[in-house]
Amino acid sequence: MLLLRCATAQVCYINSMESIEAWQEDVKKKKDDLSLVFQRLGRKQRRSDQSATTLITIQEALDVQDFDVFEASVDRLCSHYENNGATKLFNRYLYPHFGHIKSFSQAIGQMTQDQDATSLCWGSILTVIQCACQTTENAEEILGQLTNLQQLLPDCQKDIDLYPGSSRLKFILGDIYENYLEYCIVILRSMTRNAFAQTIRNLFSSSLRCDLKKLNGKAKSNSDAWDNAVNREERVRADQMRKQLTHTQSHSSTAPGPTFPLHTVYIQEKNDFFGREAELDTLYKMLVENHTESKPIS
């Protein structure tokens, strides 16, 4: 049994290492894809003189390390584009759902142990938000799409903390991560086909909407798979606790009890005393004889 457990633990460790290596490879591929998109965005900005109105550079977006920096960057964008109605849009579409991406990004960082993976989450969505602000006619639709995506993100960090050893959750988290970055890449690629200074009439063309619809469908499937995996982990843990409780109760019922339980002490003492008839007879005779000898003669 011990050898079997050791072998199982070794297999789990190997699978975990392979999963981390696969994650790192996926991170590299997505970062390369985003780098190409960012380069195109930079060229479009320079051609259309949008660089003068770009508040956060692409490199700054990729250097975001945590949620606090991300939130501060979004606040800067909100203030900078306030005249374009950014405050109203941000309050409606972004701020209420920040908890989803915060939990998701923290889980990504915990699993991959790679800061680049977390920075890609922050940087990609931050770039999409800024581009949406620069294309005012489509800002609401773009932010609405981001809201749909964020609402489909499960509370990854909480579940990973509850079940840190679940390889199934980590596998699904990888799918959620890839789909999330692809979602941002698809939107950004569409933006590179149009000059920022011009009205983007075909930004959300039928083909783009179709692509985003597919990604939304995949995000929904991943979310359902995540919920099913969490439910399975809950059942497994409940079964383990039930078995442990049953084993404890069985062990306590077969253990030998005390020789003299507390409720029998008084009874046992009475039996020990009243059962000694010889001692009682001797005591009686002594008392009677002494009483007779000391009785005065009338």
Rounded CA separation 73/69 (Å): 6
pLDDT in tens, the chain (298 residues): 444 444 444 444 445 556 667 666 766 777 777 778 877 776 766 666 555 457 888 788 888 888 999 999 999 999 988 888 888 999 999 899 899 999 999 999 888 888 888 888 898 999 899 888 887 677 888 888 889 899 999 999 999 999 988 889 989 998 999 899 999 988 888 877 654 444 445 555 667 788 888 999 999 999 999 999 999 999 988 888 888 888 776 666 665 555 544 444 444 445 555 556 666 677 667 776 655 555 554 4
Q: How many CA atoms lie within 13 A of 275 on its CB side?
A: 6
pLDDT score, position 18? 61
pLDDT score, position 2? 43
147 and 158 Cβ atoms separated by less than 8 Å: no
Nearest to 73 by CA among 85, 88, 57, 89: 57
Rounded CA separation 267/62 (Å): 82
What DSSP string describes 119-175? HHHHHHHHHHHHHHHHSGGGHHHHHHHHHHHHHT---HHHHHHH-TT-HHHHHHHHH
23 and 112 Cβ atoms separated by less than 8 Å: yes
pLDDT score, position 138? 76
Backbone angles phi, psi at 23, to 5 degrees: -60, -50
162 and 87 Cβ atoms separated by less than 8 Å: no
207 burial via Cβ count (<10 Å: 0-12, 13-18, 19+): exposed
Number of neighbours of residue 247 by Cβ within 10 angstroms = 10
In the chain, where the domains are located: 22-239
Which residue type is seen at 181? Answer: L
Please identify which residue in the block is written with the tokens 């497994």: 236
- 85 in helix, strand or coil? coil
pLDDT score, position 137? 72
